[in-house]
Chain A
């Protein structure tokens, strides 16, 4: 099964409406393809709130910063979590406006957008925080210029994450916004992996 075919059938799969052989093929593909598994997680996350929540429900408190505070020491954690704070500032940004102007968002409540973003973020958060903790321990061994380069690039990625998440919150059904958000998360993990390798090997 190709990724395109998977995406075409994803809603039927989540709703359990596909024939058994297709359900099996979908599950097999999702187990082998990270990108499609993320899409499926996002679709599941989207379907859940739509089916169960009233449209005017208030967003739940984000528990993640509290959890992170307990398991990862500062200051790299602060860098990793900075994107969450920026989200608030980005809510009414020009990018979000441009997204809305270009593509009419699906008629879904904003809580669904948060759910979709959190489902994607949850896939990357454990690794991100694990690497941030390692980097925090190794920071003293890195050259100041290297620390500055890591900080600078993390800031760029965090801004991209905040902007793509704000756009995704407005239109959680858009597969391209999900892909952009997912890529930004993966890029942060990749940069942290690179930084920890430098700390370990040099």
Chain B
């Protein structure tokens, strides 16, 4: 009997917690490429793409604190959590939303984390300090945060990622990518060849690991943080590197270096077809070779 006490206590606490929450579930028909706007400022928003032409929302809101709302039909929807009275604090709420995989998603949050899984449409995600994560193969990803981390593990042809303090991690980058931060570190791993890329930070470390297409262009820039570029052994590229007060180091076997006074340091790999431009006022620059598994092989 004594052993049962902790379980009884937990059960009572759980019941109490459940009573304090209000869960609303709604399912509505939706166009396969519907536009969906979501406002959930505090808590968690999880969006999952599915193959059904419908939207199913499960909203969990603290009882008495806030109110779930939803409007729109078939092609356009708006939903979120608002305060019960104007000016009142909005409580932390959880939204779990199943959407047609190709839906266009727009999410705004203050501190709420935003997670989008199995997405195939256009995504526009913004948070002040919540974490943003994306998986799937969305057509376009636009994500911005002031000081929350952004992790994009998606195969998207177009990405526009921006943060101030928050770190940016992009896996499977390809196509057209812009990533920018003020002080957050930026790490980009390219699974297929990048066609056009611009990665810049003021004081955040920048790391690029992957390939650039033969006619592609990649710009990397920091004000005072180090930049590391790891390229596959088969990469053909011309790298023009300007590091005003940092060192430029190559660990890439066979890279042909040309240094002319008053000009950027130039490294040529293979035929030199792709253009890679690297600038830093105070940071150093390192180029190195990726090993066959895609991990950088630092000398």
**Minimum CB–CB distance for B206 against chain A, Å:** 13
Count the A residues whose beta carbon is within 8 Å of the partner chain — how many?
A: 36
Question: Closest A-chain residue to B246, C-beta based?
Answer: A98
Residue numbers in B under 8 Å from A157 (CB-CB): 182, 202
A39-47, A99-107, A109-117: which lies at the interface: A99-107
Residue numbers in B under 8 Å from A104 (CB-CB): 261-262
Interface residue SS majority, chain A: helix
Determine which of B41, B146, B203, B262 lies in contact with A194 in the assembled complex, contact meaning CB atoms within 8 Å: B146
Does A198 interact with chain B (Cβ within 8 Å)? yes
Does B165 interact with chain A (Cβ within 8 Å)? yes
Does B288 interact with chain A (Cβ within 8 Å)? no
**Contact: A179 with B279, CB < 8 Å?**
yes
Interface set, chain B 219-259, CB cutoff 8 A to A: 221, 223-224, 242, 244-245
Does A145 interact with chain B (Cβ within 8 Å)? yes
In the assembled complex, the Cα of A95 lies from the Cα of B146 at a distance in Å of: 28
**Contact: B146 with A167, CB < 8 Å?**
no
Question: Closest A-chain residue to B264, C-beta based?
Answer: A176
Residue numbers in B under 8 Å from A184 (CB-CB): 202, 223
**Contact: B162 with A180, CB < 8 Å?**
no
Residue numbers in B under 8 Å from A164 (CB-CB): 223, 281
In the assembled complex, the Cα of A145 lies from the Cα of B148 at a distance in Å of: 13
Interface set, chain A 1-34, CB cutoff 8 A to B: 4
Residue numbers in A under 8 Å from B279 (CB-CB): 176, 179-180
Residue numbers in B under 8 Å from A183 (CB-CB): 200, 221
In the assembled complex, the Cα of A198 lies from the Cα of B162 at a distance in Å of: 14
In the assembled complex, the Cα of A153 lies from the Cα of B202 at a distance in Å of: 10
* A102-B147 contact in complex given A187-B200, A201-B108, C-beta closer than 8 Å: no
- Give me 11 A-to-B residue pairs in the complex whose CB atoms sit less than 8 angstroms apart, sorted by A's number: A4-B275, A102-B244, A103-B261, A104-B261, A153-B146, A160-B224, A179-B279, A180-B281, A190-B162, A191-B164, A194-B164
Apart from A95-B282, A176-B264: 4 A-B pairs, beta carbons within 8 A = A103-B262, A167-B244, A184-B223, A198-B146
